[in-house]
Amino acid sequence: MRSEKEMMDLVLSLAEQDERIRIVTLEGSRANINIPKDEFQDYDITYFVSDIEPFISNDDWLNQFGNIIMMQKPEDMELFPPEEKGFSYLMLFDDYNKLILPYCPWKS
């Protein structure tokens, strides 16, 4: 399993390399200092992007995060269509790290 530092370095370095990613935020239990850290915590990261379409039209670029063994795209589910303009990926990697990665439009 990759360490927290390895995962955060990866998330941030990918954002730094892509000028369309304007802001990166960390949410959830990893952002809350009152919650004890454990090996089951996922990474709740949001990328605020200038152009969301290229990120959701082709999933191949997500392989940069690691070998994905399971992925969900809640906004692609037909039972409950999306209410917002964002798009989310829920990913489980072969090292058992979990990444929840919503994209939200950024308007400057």
Burial of 68 (0-12, 13-18, 19+ CB in 10 A): middle
Helix (H) or strand (E) holding 87: strand 87-93
SS3 30: helix
Q: pLDDT, tens digit, for every residue of 18-76?
A: 999 999 999 999 999 999 998 889 999 999 999 999 998 999 999 999 999 999 998 88
Closest CA to 93 of 58, 64, 56, 73: 64
The pLDDT tens digits of the residues spanning 56-69 come to: 899 999 999 999 99
Taking the complete model, does pTM exceed 0.75, yes or no?
yes
Domains and CATH numbers, the chain: 4-105 (3.30.460.10)
* 83, pLDDT greater than 70: no
